[in-house]
Structure 1
Amino acid sequence: MFDKVKNIMDLAKSIDFGKLEEISKKVDLGAVMDAVSKMDDKQLHGLMKMLNAGKQKRELPPINGDFYAMDSKLNDTDRALQLKVREFMETEVKPIVNKYWLRDEFPFEIVPKLAALNICGYTYNGYGCMGGSSLMEGIIAAEIARVDASVATFFGVQSGLAMGSIYLCGSEEQKQEWLPKMQQMQVIGAFGLTEPEVGSGAAGGLTTTCRKTTEGWILNGQKKWIGNSTFSDITIIWARDLEDGEVKGFIVRKDNPGFSVEKIKDKMALRIVQNGLITLNHCIIPESDRLQKADSFKDTGKVLQMTRAGVAWMAVGCARGAYENALDYTRKRKQFGKPIASFQLIQNHLVEMLSNLTAMQTLVFRLSELQDKGELRDEHASLAKVFCSLRTRDIVSKAREVMGGNGILLEYNVARFLADAEAIYSYEGTKEINSLIVGRSITGFSAFV
């Protein structure tokens, strides 16, 4: 009985009697008080809880796209590096990224700061590189892409494709000359494989040619979609030898006669990445700048296999950035008097996004474990590229959907992910080509034409 009296007194204290006259015009206060007096302790407690609910600040769970705590698998040193990269992206890149994306320009001021992280060429041994794990390299790629896929692409071209070509296919002299400077980003690299009329068919259909003469190697042809090429110091060019028909690689310097670059404009995705159309017109390259261990497309393929795994990690980062921004938005955006995150359909979208993201994370973790064991095969990297880039498209689409019309505005940090996911879906091998690589592996039949 005492508890009941106390609950009624607490209820009375919660009433603003100054508003009683106004309230009495809308409800029968006598009937309300009679109903309250007949409530048992449990009912009164529930009523008080309801009345106080609006006064108490709700403690929401942290926004974290790592739902299965995959980061807990990292040791303290690796975890610290992950958080260091995250802080750099949050403080140095995130505040400026929308401006540069909109203007189709590259933020050169971040290059020295990015170099200071000492993560370029992370898995390579020697030449100033860390000699770290493929798993950590993937996590770094995801952390960068979590804020911006364009910066991740710039870094992937520099650290993976350009440095990787020299590391895997260059002579010791070439490695000593270029890799330490590229590791510190004093020299910026690009990777020229794709052509205006040759993308997926690069293995057997390169139209850019090379021919050995007494002057050196003469290169002729064009390369398209070459990231970093408008400002790179060197570009790795892959060309078909007119003599033996094999693909060979060359280190082409930016001031080499016969080498020119035109910026590709009007892109809808990865606008910060400076893609170029390269023209090689009787471009003479000395033998000393030919990659000495690149004698066929199989050697090119070694580079692509290594970096394709990185693209899968980038897709994970892009998806995580979109999911976390969307989740944050839904908890702040109110409609019908409450956050839209409390609506069933919104929660359904968020759970579907998180499900795909978590599946992607577990896949790429295992992929990098295979890579660190030396067991990575083409089909492993291709399956990851197919699945992760496909699921990323779905995640960024749902992220935009839960944000309504605001989802197409740059300021809400999802529109950029929505557009950039389209580029990730296509580069480093289309879904169809990577699917055929996996299909050949599991069936024993090649469906390539």
Structure 2
Amino acid sequence: MTFELLPGDLYGYEGLLTDQEKTALTNLRSYLESDVRPIVNGCWERAEFPEEVVRPLAKLGTYSFGWPETRPFANSAVFRGFVALEIARVDASVATFVGVQNGLACGTISVTGSQEQRDEWLPRLASGEIVGAFGLTEPLSGSDAAQGLRTTATRDGDLWRLNGAKRWIGNGTFSDITIIWAKDTADGQVKGFIVHTDAPGYTATKIEGKISLRAVQNADITLDDVVVPERNRLQNANSFKDAAKVLRLTRAEVSWAAVGTAMGAYEAAVAYSRERVQFGKAIGGHQLVQDLLVKSLGNITASLAMVVRVSQMLDEGSQRDEHSALAKLYTTARMRETVAWCRELFGGNGIVLSYDVARFFSDAEAIYSYEGTQEMNTLIVGRTITGQAAFV
């Protein structure tokens, strides 16, 4: 199977990948086109997640490329970014599922778990045997999670008792385990726990009525005296700073997904511009339509350059919070512009699900907001520029 550059990769950044990485990406792209793209509009409309994709994506290594215990071959952060992009350019909901499974669930255990915990849980998550979720956001605590977390953890010998609530938890209705972040009542520090979702007192309820990422199964979670053994407390998660280490990595991955979402809308718009005829010729031959496409490609190209560099810095060991924060706020803003321009190109057809662009347009709104709002990421970068924190 021949590797081909994506239409939205005008400067050929995929050419930076090794031959092995290109082969893995080609295999993933083939599966997405043959098995995922045909079903995603229906899943989006029904607000159902296609659980049948979980195991095939695992066989392609999608949940394990980043972690030494499970990754199928040595690979770069740039390659792992392109994996997120490839999935998002087909469907942002599936990309979000993978981001939770690999980045937030596997990532948290890899970054903050003991070696024993990594050995126990990462292979099971990587194989798709179990599904993971990540519980940080709460009904009354989102951007202020560092200070405003209300879920509590109280130690009782070799057990912990968790009480509280979580909201917007992706994969939350069908996960087997959820990483729960809670404030220790003894020292006031935020700690992480691997919680079995069948534990007594744990309840997950699907959030209904969404207009974005409808196939993602977001849940409201309540924790009513849920008992967790000490062995399932993440041994290296002892403050919110440890949770932030995970978010720095996943925030960069969300940036890649934002580029992929913009690219998916752009590809749909290019195809439509070649087939839709108005005033006697394909609309791609009209100047104002070309203007929309060129502006879209410019946004995608600039964003792709930024995320490639951020991932290179991760490989070099030089990536910091402000790097991933700037990438997230910039790429999601450009994505939002791009999907709007692409939807505009379709006219009335742009609000019909079967043309794909409506799904990208709607899904962009959630990506714009999650894993750090524009405002919070702006303040992270602003602190670096000025040396002064302006969060409150």
Class of the TM-score when normalised by the shorter of the 2 chains: over 0.9
Select which of 269, 279, 285 maps to 1:326.
269
1:189 aligns with 2:122: no
Correspondence list, 1:96-175, <5 A? 96-127=39-70, 130-175=73-118
Secondary structure class of the residue paired with 1:125: coil
Higher relative contact order (CA 8 A, sep 6+): 2
> 2:200 is aligned with what amino acid?
P
Q: 1:306 aligns with which of 235, 249, 252?
A: 249
CA offset digits 1:80-99 (Å, max 9, x no partner): 22221111111111000000
In 1, the alpha carbon distance for the partners of 2:19 and 2:158 equals 54
Q: Contact between 1:63 and 1:324, CA under 8 Å: does it hold in 2?
A: no
Q: What percent identity do the matched residue pairs reach?
A: 53
**Aligned pairs (5 A) from 1:54-69:** 64-69=7-12
Distance 2:327 2:353 in 1: 29
Considering only aligned residues, what root-mean-square deviation do their CA atoms show, in Å?
1.1
- 1:142-188 alpha-carbon deviations (Å, 9 max, x no partner): 00000000000000000000011111111122111111111111011
> How far off is 1:284 after superposition?
1.1
2:387 aligned residue: 444
Contact 2:105 2:134 in 1 (8 A): yes
Q: Do the aligned residues in 1 keep the contact of 2:153 with 2:160 (CA within 8 Å)?
A: yes
Q: Where do 5+ consecutive residues of structure 2 fail to align?
A: none
Q: 2:193 & 2:315 partners in 1: Cα distance? A: 28
1:305-384 map, 5 Å: 305-384=248-327
1:23-65 Cα distance to aligned partner (Å, 9 max, x none): xxxxxxxxxxxxxxxxxxxxxxxxxxxxxxxxxxxxxxx9811
After TM superposition, give the deviation of residue 214 of structure 1 in Å: 2.9
Go from structure 1 to structure 2 and tell me whether the alpha carbon gap of 1:215 and 1:78 turns closer, same or farther (over 3 Å shift): closer
Distance in 2 of aligned mates of 1:344 and 1:358: 21
- The alpha-carbon distance between structure 1 residues 70 and 63, as it changes in their structure 2 partners (threshold 3 A), is closer
Q: Give deviations 1:93-125, integer Å, cap 9, x for gaps.
A: 100000000000011111121111012121211
The amino acid across from 2:50 in the alignment is: P
**Paired residues of 1:124 and 1:130 also in contact (CA < 8 A):** no
Question: Is 1:273 aligned with 2:216?
Answer: yes
Contact 1:308 1:381 in 2 (8 A): yes
User: Which residue type is aligned with residue 183 of structure 1?
Assistant: A
User: Which of 260, 264, 267 is 2:203 aligned to?
Assistant: 260
User: 1:127 deviation in Å?
Assistant: 3.7
For residue 129 of structure 1, report the CA deviation from its aligned partner. Answer: 5.1
Question: How many residues are matched?
Answer: 388
1:128 deviates by 5.2
- Looking at structure 1, the residues matched to 376 and 338 of structure 2 have their Cα atoms a distance apart, in angstroms, of 22
Q: Who is 1:218 aligned against?
A: 161
* Pair 1:215–1:69, CA change in 2 (3 A): closer
**Larger displacement relative to structure 2 (273-282 or 105-114):** 105-114
Q: Provide the rounded CA distance (Å) in 2 between the counterparts of 1:322 and 1:383.
A: 23
- Once the two structures are TM-superposed, the CA of residue 132 in structure 1 deviates from its matched residue by 2.3
